[in-house]
Amino acid sequence: MSWLVMALLSAAFASLVAILGKIGMSEVDSNLATAIRAVVMAGASVIFVAFTGSLGQIKTVDFKALLFILFSGLAGAASWMFYFGALRLAPASKVAPIDRLSVVFTLILAALFLKEKISFGIVAGCVLIVAGSILIARA
């Protein structure tokens, strides 16, 4: 499977997070809903990794990699808490586009910390994402 197909599937499933989450937490505290979601995701992830035969590789993960993966998990947990909190307060059609500003933040951070190249096309795309997010938030 190509990276593009995987990225498109990621986007499709991410859209379901907003819709299903908004429906599911209509009478549930957003933090509790996030915790339930995290438990389900953890279980599904372990099953997937076990199914693919990668679970035994956990012993080979060095400390630095583990540390950054743990920090990534903490950042993801914070993102989910704020995302579900925002869904509690606003329509999914407004929250999701603002959340996608993460693309802009990622491109900036990737340039700063990973030394990834920033081209005119990337800058133009970021400007369009920001403009689109503003337009949707105001609608």
pLDDT tens digit at each of 139 positions of the chain: 899 999 899 989 988 998 998 898 888 999 999 999 999 999 999 999 999 999 999 999 999 999 999 999 999 999 999 999 999 999 999 999 999 999 999 999 999 999 999 999 999 999 999 999 999 988 8
Phi, psi of 117 (to 5 degrees): -75, 140
pTM to 2 decimal places: 0.83
In terms of residue numbers, what domain contains 108? 100-139
Pair 76, 136 in one domain: no
Domain presence at residue 32: yes
Pair 77, 17 in one domain: yes
Pair 33, 75 in one domain: yes
Pair 112, 70 in one domain: no
Q: Name the domain count of the chain.
A: 2
How far is 133 from 139, CA to CA, in rounded Å?
Answer: 10
Pair 62, 105 in one domain: no
* CB atoms closer than 10 angstroms to residue 29: 12
Pair 117, 77 in one domain: no
